[in-house]
Chain A
């Protein structure tokens, strides 16, 4: 596709439910990032992949958050046993290299935990 695609666009989960959020980066992009954007806040870094390797997961808020990118393209962010504080927009971004290149963002998945 022409840009970064995320699905679903909206997800409502009951507290305690597991969710999986998908990101299709721009074809050929090596770097992939996940960010969490709470209501009224700027995005906050969660994790980074270079191809299939998860090199930085310092931003994941708890061990309930897990991300993977097994073949170096599509990535999935999984949240286990969702809590209300997990409600946010989850943004995925990709870039061509880990150098000084532009990161292209998807439209995000809005997760609401009820």
Chain B
């Protein structure tokens, strides 16, 4: 069965510093890969997604992610974080189920804290 691992439960970064959030997946074929952000009391917002093609994906809010098949990874990066980036970040794998629908399998999330 597919799975998503986010090894870092909590990361603290200084404002203006660079950020990398790790994500590893387990799946037999090339999956669809997503990063979502969840602010307190809010729903999930899509940051970026990878389906095929260029392995470096650009997203909203200055985020990017790189798909590395050899490492089964899809790490999220941002060159300079802002205080407003403090939130919970979820990596997800999208698969087509036996019923024909796409469904997402999420990691357990990484909580990002920004310090001044």
List chain A positions with a Cβ less than 8 A from chain B.
4, 31, 33, 35, 40-45, 48, 50, 55-56, 58-59, 91, 93, 98-100, 102-108
Partner of A55, one of B4, B44, B99, B105: B99
* In the bound complex, CA of A64 to CA of B77 (Å): 41
Taking the nearest CB of chain A, how far is it from the CB of B85, in angstroms? 19
Quick check: B43 and A108 within 8 Å, CB to CB? yes
Quick check: B104 and A103 within 8 Å, CB to CB? yes
**Complex: chain B residue closest to A9, CB-CB:** B41
Which residues from B are CB-within-8-Å of A99?
A: 102
How many chain B residues touch A (CB < 8 A): the figure is 25
Partner of B102, one of A4, A98, A104, A107: A98
Which residues from A are CB-within-8-Å of B49?
A: 102
Taking the nearest CB of chain A, how far is it from the CB of B31, in angstroms? 12
Quick check: B99 and A40 within 8 Å, CB to CB? no
Asked whether any CB of chain A lies closer than 8 Å to the CB of B108, the reply is yes
Quick check: A98 and B101 within 8 Å, CB to CB? yes
Quick check: B43 and A106 within 8 Å, CB to CB? yes
Taking the nearest CB of chain B, how far is it from the CB of A108, in angstroms? 6
Using A33-B103, A48-B101, A48-B103 as known contacts, say yes or no to A100 and B44 having CB atoms under 8 A apart: no
Interface string of B73-116 (1 = CB under 8 A from A): 00000000000000000101000010111111111110000000
Asked whether any CB of chain A lies closer than 8 Å to the CB of B18, the reply is no
* In the bound complex, CA of A3 to CA of B33 (Å): 23
Quick check: B45 and A105 within 8 Å, CB to CB? yes
Which residues from A are CB-within-8-Å of B44?
A: 43, 91, 93, 105
* In the bound complex, CA of A106 to CA of B44 (Å): 7
Q: Besides A31-B102, A42-B106, 20 other CB < 8 A contacts?
A: A33-B103, A33-B104, A40-B108, A40-B109, A42-B90, A43-B90, A43-B104, A43-B106, A45-B104, A56-B97, A56-B99, A56-B103, A58-B99, A59-B103, A91-B44, A98-B102, A102-B49, A105-B45, A106-B43, A108-B43
